[in-house]
Structure 1
Amino acid sequence: MKKIVFLLFVACMAVVTAKAWRNMPMPKLHIEGRYLVDENGNKVNLHGVAQTYSPWFNEKGKYWDNYDVDGCLNYNKRMISGVLDKGYKINVLRLHMDPYWSNNPSANNGDESDISAFNMLRFKQYFNSVFYEMAKYCESNGIYVVMRPPGVCPKEITVGDNYQKYLIKVWEYVAERLVKEGNTSIMIELANEPVKICKTDASGKKITSGASFDYFQPIVDAIRAKGCNNIIWVPGPGYQSDYRDYAVKPIIGNNIGYAVHCYPGWFGSDAEVESAENTGDVSGGGYNGFINGWHERINCVTDFAPIIVTEMDWAAKKYDCSWGKSTTGVRGGEGFGANFKFLCDYTGNVSWTVFTGLNLLAEYDDSKPDGSTFLTDPESCARPVYRWFKDYAAEWPNPTADARKLVSLELGCADNFKILPGNAIAIPVDATFADGHKSCVSATADYSISNPSVASFKNGMLLCNGVGETDVVISLTDDFGTRKEVSVHLTLTPFPLSADSFNPNIWEKGSFDEKTGTLITGKYGFGGWTYNNGLDMSDYKYLVVELYEKQNAGAEIHLFDENDYWAQNATIQIGTRTRVVEELATLKKGNGVMLNTEHIYIAGFWSYGGNPIRIKSVFLSNDKDATEAATGIGEVEALPDCGDNVIYNLRGQRVVNPTPGIYIKNGKKIVII
């Protein structure tokens, strides 16, 4: 067995919450590698809230209006004080320098992306009397501040455009003021929710590749040119949901992190109502969908820099108290909130804020029993976030021996997974110590992988790379040499008929029973599989689909070679057949273009909805008469025996005493004779 071992940090030495509370000095923070750290080198994650300084966002003008500076300050200070009085352990606040103050009052401007009414003199005036005053108040209460510029980005921004010049102008002034005040703790979020970032190539064509760097690097440079070395959080496109462009060309300089937004439905997460922003996601993927979307678009930068999630919340639609509509759910299962927290903790270098209005949070009472209001419903964000922030704030400054003595290690999930090739998975593992405290140690434990050809480990994620099976032993050793371990078994197959891999809600709400293979889609719905990195079918001749019985749902098989449910797709009519064998090389999309089987991103079943489709098996084969899934893994090798490595049959099942025949070993076909 080849063992892959990774550096272990015991739980009490993991990332901590900054110890900055009321009446306490605030440690100076900076960025080292992929972490936010304090002056003593402690890795830090921040947790907090957001405020916007306009009458509309401050309870719709109920308490102040008409550019009343004192009214604005009094109200918003009262809200912060109220939240702290309720026991919320917050240490960061995202401060929106709302354009209410900087726009000409007489201007009839359109939306918040319209900068035609921006007045620099007004911005300077109210930066000093409103925004900086509120920042100082936050800091006096042990709260770090992240400043956001006035307004939001237009739907499309282009390198060299007026909006880029506007941002440079705003941040140059802020940088000058921070340097003059000697303030090195206020952080900067360069822009809010860019949607599409472009630049013009040599031919005059607009392109997006490399545009994120070219747009925001000059703004960073302008800030640094003023002598300001404060921490900068850089946004990405897709409403701050996509950071793949920075993985190729990251922002250059010191103290650089990335600012992310995350709402229900984004990254494939669960949502009661589809997000108003079109981020290109297919919601309803539960834990698996969420983690793979996060891994694809966020982990590409958390591998080398910290991030802060500056907008996030969730609650049921009926409460009308949140932007995101979903439930807390359970870690590793359905719902949004618990999975969001787990991904942040697991990634290890994620700070985050909740977007819920402080007027609501200031009314929270943790002593009240669970109920059916926004503030008492544990499926809405207010209650769990309150308790999570308390957990984050628990201080272990000088851990006792008992706090370092490992008692047990437990899985927070099943011990057997069927995973799609190309996807990622995070295994919840909890350690209990002798003093009674528990810690999630998933990202910092040792991982031993029996078959490295199908899975690997990086920064807290198991990356599922091939087709086959592997055992993963996860272990933790404390300071006294006590070692505990747990194990999971992974089976990687392209079309697993398992509840944790098959998504019945790719379009419309459906259901899937893995025991009977029964899919019932929503009206005109679609269920199946999604492949973030694309599934390569090009080595196979046939797609084979077998049903237990004839279907009466108008079912069709759809294959997409673009990562977009609304893109053109290849459609295969099922009709009355219970066995469908389709030659892949002949498949065309609706526009007549040949399907590119080298990268299939979505595959599954469409139907009118309401009637069952009982799926027996789905597999790829080079033999149209095959009844088992062809592996297509490498070339056939003739070997005299099985040696000490694990052997699998062509169904991916482990075989202890194989008889002569064709099997899989170390990711390749073999013949045992």
Structure 2
Amino acid sequence: MKRIFTLITILCALGAGAQGVKPLPSLHTEGRWLVDKHGNQVVLHGVMDTPSNYFNGGRWEGSKALGWWDHYNDTGVTNCLAYFEKLFKGMEKAKCDVFRLHMDPAWTNDPADGYVYAGSVGQASDASGEADIKKFNPERYQKYMPQLYLKLAEMAMKYGMYVVVRPPGVCPHDLKVGDYYNQYLMYVWDVFSQQEFVKDHAGQISIELANEPVNLRNAQNQDDPKALHDYFQPIVNKIRENGFTGIIWAPGTGWQANYTSYATYPIEGDNIGYAVHDYTGWYGCSDANPDPQNKIEQFHKQVPVVDTNPIIITEVDWSPENPSAQGHYNEHNEWVQPNYGTWSTGSTSKWGKAYKAMLDYYGNISMTLSGTGCLFDIDKLLSTGNVYPAFNGLEEACGKACMDWYAEYYTVNYPHADDEAETGDFYTIESLKADQESFDLMIGDKTKILLNVLYRDGHTKDISDVATYEVDEPSVVEVKKGSIRALANGEAQVQASYTDVQGIIWKKSFVVKVTGLDLGALTALSSLSDITDQPFAIVNKESQKMFYGPENQNLDMGDPLGVINNKSISGYMFKAEAISGRDGCYLLRLMTLNGSEYSVYGKPGYLNSQPTTGWCSFILGLNNQNGEDVKDGAVWEIKYESGKGFTLKNMATGKYLKDAAPAKYDAPAYFDFLKSSVTAGIHKVERSVDNDAVYTLQGIKIATLQQWDALPRGIYIVGGKKKLK
């Protein structure tokens, strides 16, 4: 939902003092929104910080009883709290209303040389830095929980900020369900969620379960779309058993950039959101490619739960290139140009513009910058008591941009006092409006209903997620959380209802027409003999992936495949996946370029959900688009040459997988050949791999194994598999 700023809204908000309500109102989730007790939608903006003298620039110290580095003792607690109170005063002046607190492991680590945490058994030998939990001491964690961490949370709340709490340290690179780190997180959150202060402030304190998982597999150490759910759901269950009812933020993999599996296997329960990270170059957006629409679409592909749950971006920053500074490699082994002191390099007028467009488009995304120093100048705050944008107010950096944005956002989507009377123009609805009142969908389509109520004071509210829906033909469409899914051919009436705080029921009706690709006769692709009278065309690739279209159409790719059942399929592509328990059989699914999918056989599943080590499995494209080997990321080019058939070329190796069609192209003979070849069954063909070559994740050959030691640190593809250096 795009924010609507009206003069009436702004004046009313300013007149009421907008935010700054104390005591801090309680928050919970409704659909994809954070809301206060009255159902008003809330979006939060602030910063992250960590109570570490090192990361705090040496601005406070401990007693140094054990040496110059020892700041993490009772004296350090006093000094650290005094320092952070000054920061919180600055954050309040900078219009922050959320603070991400890292329970820094500097306090939980045992300084004794011989100490080893018993729960670290199973940790990889190369784990280092904050991913190394060998020094974690449960006694120190329990000691500094009430003395420091909860005092910081209480102090932040006193200055008008909700608190998102992150566990000590960062995730190791490779995780699997039930591993030692899974148990470590279970312990951390078990202790935290038992604290009475935490439970008493469940409406103000929320939990971010982990920081930056990278690779996460199931208990058998296999790729599994349910692994994220299975890793974090037991922790959520334990937190709820302990009586904490507040919001829990679940992370994704890929350094908190991949949430696709949650669309099918979400974290279950109430008050669930998802914590995401975003830096320049992520989600297909950078200064070199700052297209807002592309950013919006790519974010949705990687974070589809933005449609169903609140999102908070808990790390983001940027500043422009600074030739006099020093660059670095980021998590993805991509070179980051030197900048003014942020993790990522980008400009507000380019990347930042697309980033803000994404925030405003979805509306339900909160954020915290990666550090206090990314928002304002800390030393100027300490010396003057005033806030000035970081990086000397540089227009192209995140400090100046976010101070401006936070001031703008401060007057909208803010929480109201728990005991506020639900009367007056702010709570009086005048109308219910829908973006559209009819839908023409194809089977498998999923689209959002956009319903907004307009209040008398001029502000609007998206009630799509919280409205109730009645469908007269549930076999044709279903509606969940404001999203329509087309199930079968036909027409249905959908009625939405919403009851406001005054007890008035508002209603809106929709007509939904559904048509589709009627390939119901197609069951397993191992037998097509029963549909030979239907128009179809088959691309005979190494595992017999198929395109459908009119039989009498020229298969020269100049005019590919036209229509199916009077529906244009221009811009569509098919993908196939193994059917569990039926060796050699594939599920065929039609995809649009915007990510919509249509299941041809059975329910949509996950490509490569079954182990396929050593075998190819492709997403194939039309119109000379590239196909993708989803197993290892290699890029494949598909071409058709008249008289020769189709070819599939691995762009990394330059090698072809040969088409088995007759040498001389002849449509009737080609169809006869295809019918006979697929009726006999679909067979996987093992792909040869150049085991001596080293490729980038983009499929570009850059070295041989003999040159491995000379390569910079990063992730590469060797022998068809990812390899970390």
Q: Is the alpha carbon distance of 1:89 and 1:592 closer, same or farther for their aligned partners in structure 2, counting shifts above 3 Å?
A: same
Does 2:293 correspond to 1:288?
yes
Aligned equivalent of 1:120: 138
- Deviation of 1:338 (Å): 2.1
Aligned length: 459
For residue 206 of structure 1, give the secondary structure of its aligned residue in structure 2.
coil
- Deviation of 1:363 (Å): 5.2
Q: Is the alpha carbon distance of 1:583 and 1:228 closer, same or farther for their aligned partners in structure 2, counting shifts above 3 Å?
A: farther
Q: Distance in 1 between matches of 2:210 and 2:26?
A: 24
Aligned equivalent of 2:247: 231
Aligned equivalent of 1:342: 357
Q: Is the alpha carbon distance of 1:285 and 1:78 closer, same or farther for their aligned partners in structure 2, counting shifts above 3 Å?
A: closer
Q: Distance in 2 between matches of 1:582 and 1:378?
A: 59
Counterpart of 1:248, as a letter, is: T
- Deviation of 1:359 (Å): 7.8
- Asked whether the 8 Å contact 1:232–1:257 carries over to 2, the reply is yes
For residue 58 of structure 1, give the secondary structure of its aligned residue in structure 2.
coil
- TM-score under structure 1 length normalisation: 0.57
- Deviation of 1:462 (Å): 14
| 1:357 alignment partner, one of 369, 372, 377 | 372
- Deviation of 1:148 (Å): 0.1
- Cα deviation digits, residues 502-554 of structure 1 (max 9, x gap): xxxxxxxxxxxxxxxxxxxxxxxxxxxx95649999796x75xxxxxxxxxxx
Counterpart of 2:201, as a letter, is: N
- Deviation of 1:342 (Å): 2.0
For residue 146 of structure 2, give the secondary structure of its aligned residue in structure 1.
helix
Percent of aligned pairs with the same amino acid: 34
Q: Distance in 1 between matches of 2:376 and 2:154?
A: 21
Q: Distance in 1 between matches of 2:351 and 2:445?
A: 19
Counterpart of 1:587, as a letter, is: L
Q: Distance in 1 between matches of 2:407 and 2:3?
A: 26
Does 2:213 correspond to 1:194?
yes
- Deviation of 1:595 (Å): 9.0
Q: Is the alpha carbon distance of 1:373 and 1:75 closer, same or farther for their aligned partners in structure 2, counting shifts above 3 Å?
A: closer
| 1:303 alignment partner, one of 307, 317, 331 | 307
Counterpart of 1:77, as a letter, is: E
Q: Distance in 2 between matches of 1:343 and 1:287?
A: 7
| 2:649 alignment partner, one of 588, 611, 626 | 588
Comparing both structures, which one devotes a greater share of its residues to strand? 1
- Deviation of 1:206 (Å): 1.3
For residue 561 of structure 1, give the secondary structure of its aligned residue in structure 2.
strand
- Asked whether the 8 Å contact 1:347–1:460 carries over to 2, the reply is no
- Cα deviation digits, residues 190-237 of structure 1 (max 9, x gap): 00001111103xxx4512310000000000011111111121111111
| 2:401 alignment partner, one of 359, 366, 384 | 384
> 1:419-438 to 2 correspondence within 5 Å?
none
Aligned equivalent of 1:144: 162
Counterpart of 2:205, as a letter, is: I
Q: Is the alpha carbon distance of 1:423 and 1:73 closer, same or farther for their aligned partners in structure 2, counting shifts above 3 Å?
A: farther
Which blocks of at least 5 consecutive residues in structure 2 are unaligned? 63-69, 115-126, 323-338, 382-387, 417-422, 432-443, 449-454, 466-479, 486-558, 561-591, 598-617, 660-665, 668-725
Q: Is the alpha carbon distance of 1:424 and 1:265 closer, same or farther for their aligned partners in structure 2, counting shifts above 3 Å?
A: farther
Aligned equivalent of 2:224: 208
- Cα deviation digits, residues 454-496 of structure 1 (max 9, x gap): xxxx999999xxxxxxxxxxxxxxxxxxxxxxxxxxxxx99xx
| 1:312 alignment partner, one of 311, 316, 327 | 316
Q: Is the alpha carbon distance of 1:438 and 1:227 closer, same or farther for their aligned partners in structure 2, counting shifts above 3 Å?
A: closer
Counterpart of 2:318, as a letter, is: W
Does 2:348 correspond to 1:324?
no
- Asked whether the 8 Å contact 1:188–1:232 carries over to 2, the reply is yes
- Asked whether the 8 Å contact 1:322–1:356 carries over to 2, the reply is no
Q: CA RMSD in A?
A: 5.3
> 1:206-605 to 2 correspondence within 5 Å?
206-271=222-287, 284=289, 286-298=291-303, 300-318=304-322, 319-329=339-349, 335-358=350-373, 361-362=376-377, 374-394=391-411, 533=595, 543=624, 559-562=626-629, 567-570=634-637, 585-589=646-650, 590=653, 592=655, 594=657
Counterpart of 1:175, as a letter, is: S
Aligned equivalent of 2:40: 42
- Deviation of 1:592 (Å): 4.0
Comparing both structures, which one devotes a greater share of its residues to helix? 2
- Cα deviation digits, residues 358-398 of structure 1 (max 9, x gap): 486145999xxxx9983422221111211111111126999
- Asked whether the 8 Å contact 1:79–1:358 carries over to 2, the reply is no
- Deviation of 1:563 (Å): 6.6
Q: Is the alpha carbon distance of 1:295 and 1:78 closer, same or farther for their aligned partners in structure 2, counting shifts above 3 Å?
A: same
- Cα deviation digits, residues 334-360 of structure 1 (max 9, x gap): x22222222122212211111233486
Aligned equivalent of 1:669: none
Aligned equivalent of 2:22: 24
Aligned equivalent of 1:75: 83
- Deviation of 1:588 (Å): 2.6
Aligned equivalent of 1:55: 53
- Asked whether the 8 Å contact 1:423–1:532 carries over to 2, the reply is no
- Deviation of 1:10 (Å): 9.7
- Cα deviation digits, residues 602-658 of structure 1 (max 9, x gap): xxxxxxxxxxxxxxxxxxxx99xxxxxxxxxxxxxxxxxxxxxxxxxxxxxxxxxxx
Aligned equivalent of 1:416: none
| 1:98 alignment partner, one of 92, 98, 104 | 104
Q: Distance in 1 between matches of 2:658 and 2:140?
A: 56
For residue 197 of structure 1, give the secondary structure of its aligned residue in structure 2.
strand
Q: Distance in 1 between matches of 2:296 and 2:484?
A: 11
For residue 171 of structure 2, give the secondary structure of its aligned residue in structure 1.
coil
- Cα deviation digits, residues 547-572 of structure 1 (max 9, x gap): xxxxxxxxxxx834247996243398
Q: Distance in 2 between matches of 1:32 and 1:440?
A: 12
- Cα deviation digits, residues 402-430 of structure 1 (max 9, x gap): x9999xxxxxxxxxxxxxxx99999xxxx
Q: Distance in 2 between matches of 1:539 and 1:91?
A: 46
- Asked whether the 8 Å contact 1:102–1:123 carries over to 2, the reply is yes
Q: Distance in 2 between matches of 1:461 and 1:567?
A: 34
- Deviation of 1:238 (Å): 1.1
Q: Distance in 2 between matches of 1:208 and 1:267?
A: 23
Counterpart of 1:585, as a letter, is: F
- Asked whether the 8 Å contact 2:199–2:243 carries over to 1, the reply is no
